[in-house]
Amino acid sequence: MSSVFSLREPSAERGNLQTLSWLAEVFYQHCLGLFLETAYMCVSAANMAGDLRGNELMHSLEELLTTTQISHACERAIGLHAAHRDLSAQSFTQ
């Protein structure tokens, strides 16, 4: 075959596999980060509601998350807790 680039050349296939492997790793890390952040948000919201059973898990998650992820999860937990509090107040007044 000529020197024209071909996707069937072994070097191109290795490059494609490396790229796919890299993309899979980035996707996995992103999904894992979102999952851990959501777990932290749920434990934080439960903690705000007075359920302290998740404190040990919360400390473990803090070791895995960045400060930005923890901050984002806390903001979401505060919003969830406020929404629940408002819903409870509305149910009580009806």
pLDDT of residue 10: 58
Phi/psi at 9 (nearest 5 deg)? -70, 140
Q: H-type helices in 1-94, by residue range?
A: 10-48, 55-64, 67-93
What does the alpha-carbon distance between residue 10 and residue 50 come to, in Å, rounded to a whole number?
60
Domain of residue 44, residue span: 30-48+56-94
Please check whether residue 36 lies inside any domain of the structure: yes
The answer to whether residue 77 is domain-embedded is yes
Q: Is the pLDDT of residue 1 over 70?
A: no
Q: Domains in the chain: how many in total?
A: 1
- What's residue 49's pLDDT? 87
23 within domain boundaries: no
Question: Is 20 part of any domain?
Answer: no
pLDDT digits (tens, 9 = 90+) for 46-80: 998 899 999 999 999 999 999 999 999 999 999 98
The percentage of residues in the chain with a pLDDT greater than 90, rounded to a whole number, is 51
Alpha carbons 92 and 20: distance in angstroms, whole number: 54
Please state the separation of Cα 83 from the chain's center in Å.
Answer: 21
Taking the model in full, what pTM does it have?
A: 0.67
- Which among 88, 43, 94 is positioned nearest to 65, based on CA atoms? 43
